[in-house]
Structure 1
């Protein structure tokens, strides 16, 4: 039960942060902003970083050249595990005055060309999430959000398909975070840990060994 509560709290925090970030972007966008300025707002506000993409040039690519020679604004590649394949997402940004429906086919073409699992189309006022299928991208968006009025429920729809971490690692990270909080509480004050990198490395090494042993005993 406690793990379920912890997981729910973690997801709630992520949903809240993403909703707040998207609303902040929506509130800043003006009709005379350019496509590039919309891209920079997402970058500078930390949209990709919040979703777990830290490595520009690897998991996050800008002006990505497709096999056809066309360029997608952004491509992200999520982490692969036993539960899901690494998810590729194509992002296309447009200026605020552009109608998104007029650019769906462009996005769908990019998604099809590299077999991207999802595609995102936004003009800073609205953001749409599309899913690819074996028969091609679905024209009905999975999410159609008004930036500036995004709820936590809206944000929850985006995090799993767009986030870098897999379901498995998200769960492990949550448990590890709260386990660390409990471990710190048990460290005697007279141990005089200063939490320097060398000390943390030694502590982590021994902790991992004991954790592995305890896990094996419990099995």
Structure 2
């Protein structure tokens, strides 16, 4: 049972070459060329979303946050959101449910933040190791805790996204495999539950994309402040 349940995440290949990861670039194919030229309801919705994200990221990054950083994190949000939403479609590989995908996004961000902070904002890096108001006898203990929390940041950032996306897909697969042999009355309740679960997964796709990008901005903002 568990083998068949997790088989929805098995790699699918053709000619010895894995084609799963092509799904992460399929999002651009769903947008027609006129989307970038003529205004539409989808365009207005995206503009509102981008303005909201720009305001949120600007507050966290402070005065030193440049437009390039804001655009980069908005692009990260859109990329993760597109992968999450594509994974809800039937027979499409969900890249964001795998640690290879999420760690590949979190680790470069963390390494860049640490490297930039050590070269240009070394005082800020050390000041965050001891929170303000810490008693003198807890300084060494807090330094160890903060160092550990900084080291495990890419792991927790990637694991949070992968675990949430995997849990939802497993629950959908588990409920979808229970309809065989059921009566019409019970089957109708099962379909209704599947629809509610799909709506929940749509919300999780947006929330996890926002959380991943927002935490990444917070890590950068700690160095720039």
Name the TM-score, length of structure 2 as normaliser.
0.29
Where relative contact order (Cα < 8 A, 6+ residues apart) is larger, the structure is 2
Greater share of residues in helix:
2
